[in-house]
Amino acid sequence: MTERMTELDKLEYWLKCNKIEYERVDDVGIMERHQLIVYKDGERIWDAICQRGSYGYERGLLEVMGDSVVMPEDGDSVCGYLTAQDVIDRLKVEK
């Protein structure tokens, strides 16, 4: 039986396929934090989370933070309720 991929799994697969430097953090403690931290030349540039209290967690969706993924029209430093494809599309947009 194949395990269903989460949105974070899908995003991680895309990062791997595109050889983008990242780290995955899974902490199944009280917050059930699942996070991808993306780096460029060793510097943290953006991240995506799905954890209790994050925007979209209850629906399995992602919340992102960082200039590469939060658009000016979002009007905040984070944006939530995103699928993996939504995040990928944001990365392809020239700012």
Strands 62-65 and 43-50: antiparallel
pLDDT digits (tens, 9 = 90+) for 2-43: 578 999 999 999 999 999 999 999 987 777 889 999 999 999
pLDDT digits (tens, 9 = 90+) for 78-93: 999 999 999 999 998 6
SS3 13: helix
Cα–Cα distance for residue pair 51/33, rounded to 1 Å: 5
Residue type present at position 27 = D
pLDDT digits (tens, 9 = 90+) for 43-70: 999 999 999 999 999 999 999 999 889 9
Higher pLDDT, 87 or 94: 87
